[in-house]
Amino acid sequence: MIRRTLEELGISGHERLCTESTPPAAWGAQAHEVHNPATGERLAWVRMDTRDTYEEVVGASVAAFERWRNVPAPVRGQLVRAIGDEFRRLKAPLGRLISLEVGKIREEGLGEVQETIDIADFAVGLSRQLYGLTMPSERESHRMFEQWLPLGPVGVISAFNFPNAVWAWNAMIAAVCGDSVVWKPSMLAPLTAIASQNIAAGVAEGAGYPGLFGLVFGPDDVIGETMTADPRLPLISATGSTRMGRHVAQRVAQRLGRTLLELGGNNAVIVDRSTDLNLAIPAIVFAAVGTAGQRCTTTRRLIVHTSIADEVLARLSRAYDTIRIGDPLAEGTLVGPLIGERAVLDFEHAVSAAIEQGGVLVKGGKRLNPKTLPEHLSGGQFVEPTILRAPASNSLPVSADETFAPILYVFTFEELADALAMNNGVAQGLSSAIFTDSVRTAEVFLSPAGSDCGIANVNIGTSGAEIGGAFGGEKDTGGGRESGSDSWKAYMRRQTCTINYGTTLRLAQGIRFE
């Protein structure tokens, strides 16, 4: 299946790829093995970059930027429109490749490519709306305004869990803003990156703009460290763990560059006693187990009013019994594998820690026995979606950590103020949600004293953001915003301009210097 998929995407003979049993001898230590997390089988070998090949890519990106910045923004938008159309044409095989490489179920793989298509459409409209401001000057015969200009080559560092869409959020908007892009994908998802890069770069090169989209692939100590220290990349947009984000921020700050950080989440859903549970339960289940709990917006903490806690747990437990775990490309599968063995060990450690801290295991909690799976999945990394109820004290320290796995910790509350304190009582601040039929409760949740997260939803879950809204969060989530709204400003530089169209030199603040 992998060979057919690569052929459909037009990259089966790509210079970076090898699907044979052994890589070319010339690659040597630069050969990197990519595995399917659902089966454990090798998908391909990928050639990693060296510092020399990194220089080639960034040099081409700088040259592309120097041309691209002079292209009118609406014309840049037409190129992005063509890129979006190519992703439309190749949506099915690219979605399949995402499933093969990172284990997302078919629907989520296709949904991720749809996000790329949507952000391309958004960026096309944005290309005619890069507005500046005009403001009155205090000086006679003077005009004052500000404008937004292209920033430069943008470095994008992405994580495995969204191997296509997060790059697109950055790349499509950066492109209409007049920037070139250098992308470092996750070591766990290079195939999707090569395919996505090939689509965008192919359109750009066909239009006469080679180097506009660049790809560098390799370990952090070779490629990541070089990128973050490179003054030719004025902005580094990084998605990943809080630990990684702190390191990136420090490295880039040393050279006074900019960072756009979208880091960890530890998201909570509050379930008020007035909640319509027929609405809430499906939303909670999807947000808690979608992508096998490997979204930064995954619901990890459930805060339920004491009066309905038992009913909510019973209904969740029944819903979890219906979840089909297995081959992500099979019809009806709702939960695929974790990305690798380390993720499974992290899952097992978190479950054990929660029980040691007084948590009660309600559902799941174990690695799936390979003997219970079809033979072709016996090498996969599958775990049971898990529910753990906190002790009466509501103290469960392990829940303060983000574990990339389908673990849902359940707490109870009496007063809304207590629920809000629990929602806000973690270091991360990405996504949050409340289910309630009370307008007053919803408005308190959205008030300045309510959720402290970058995303706050009412009567929908914590995951599944639309591209029209700026995406990101506060505190240890990093403060960055990607995708919609005015997030385009991160990819441009602001310039204040004053024009004297009179015949007299007038100084600000009425200063006389004669």
DSSP H helical segments within 375-458, as ranges?
A: 416-424, 439-445
> 48 with 347: CB under 8 angstroms?
no
Token pair, residue 51, equals: 């510092």
Residues with Cβ < 8 Å from 120, sequence gap 6 or more? 80, 81, 83, 84, 87, 168, 172
First and final CA of the chain: distance in angstroms? 80
Three-state SS letters, 33-52: EEECCCCCCEEEEEECCCHH
> 48 with 54: CB under 8 angstroms?
no
10 Å CB burial of residue 96 (0-12, 13-18, 19+) is buried
- Rounded Cα distance between 431 and 451, Å, is 9
> 382 with 338: CB under 8 angstroms?
yes
3-state DSSP call for residue 237? strand
> 325 with 371: CB under 8 angstroms?
no
Task: Pick left, alpha or beta for residue 368 (phi over 0 → left; psi -120 to 50 → alpha; otherwise beta).
Answer: beta
The residue type of 227 is M
Residues forming the active site: 262, 296
The count of C-alpha atoms lying within 13 angstroms of the C-alpha of 459, restricted to the half-sphere facing its C-beta, is 13
3-state DSSP call for residue 173? helix
- Rounded Cα distance between 454 and 451, Å, is 9
Token pair, residue 403, equals: 């574990």
- Rounded Cα distance between 164 and 94, Å, is 9
Q: How many other CB atoms sit within 10 Å of the CB of residue 2?
A: 19
Residues with Cβ < 8 Å from 307, sequence gap 6 or more? 273
Nearest to 483 by CA among 474, 493, 473, 475: 473
> 161 with 337: CB under 8 angstroms?
no
The total number of residues shown for the chain amounts to 514
